[in-house]
Amino acid sequence: TFREQGNQAFKQGHYQEAIDRYTDAIHALNNEQLNDSIKNDLTKCYSNRAQCNINLEQYDDAIEDATKGMKIFSSSY
C-alpha cells in the first residue's frame, strides 16, 4: 500500500519520498467511505507525514498535518 511504501521510505531516511507516498495514501483513503478503519489509517498517514515534515524542518506543514490528523482522530470518538 502507499502507506507501507511511505513507511519504508521513512525508515531509509527518504523523507520527501515518504511524504509523496503518504499523500498518495491520503488521496486514496479520502475516496473511501469514512469508517473507523479508514479514519484510523488517515490519522496515521497525517501523523507520519507530519513527522517527515518535522525531519525536513517544514514546520508549518507539520503543524497542518498534525492538526488534520487530530481532527480525524477526535471525530472517531
Whole-model pTM above 0.85?
yes
Q: Between 64 and 72, whose confidence is greater? A: 64
Q: What are the distances in angstroms from CA 12 to CA 5, 8, 9, 18, 37?
A: 11, 6, 5, 9, 27
Q: What CATH number does residue 31 fall under?
A: 1.25.40.10
Domain count, the chain: 1
pLDDT digits (tens, 9 = 90+) for 11-45: 999 999 999 999 999 999 988 888 989 999 999 99
List the grid coordinates of 67. 492538526
Give the structural domain span for 24.
Answer: 2-75
**Residue 48: predicted pLDDT:** 98
